[in-house]
Amino acid sequence: MAYEFDRDETFDQDLWRKACELGFVGVYIDKKYGGAGYGFLEHCLITEKFWSVDPGIETAISPQPLVPN
């Protein structure tokens, strides 16, 4: 799937929706505001796992800065 996205220069919106459902988007946002409420460690683990498969998808899914506010 990652190869096809890169080759075709496409992005799967269903993948984005699933990442949202699983809490991979907005990791620093508090749960009371609809986010995952995760910290820096969780962000690093999510980033590392996505990068091991497809850095492009990870960059699209997790554009937050590496340092939480």
Total structural domains in the chain? Answer: 1
Determine, yes or no, domain membership for 68: no
**pLDDT per residue over 14-67, tens digit each?**
888 888 888 888 888 888 988 888 888 988 888 898 888 888 778 777 765 555
**Residue type at position 16:** W
Determine, yes or no, domain membership for 11: yes
Task: State how far the alpha carbon of 33 is from the alpha carbons of 36, 37, 49, 68, in Å.
Answer: 9, 9, 25, 16
CATH number for 46: 1.10.540.10
Res 63: pLDDT: 62
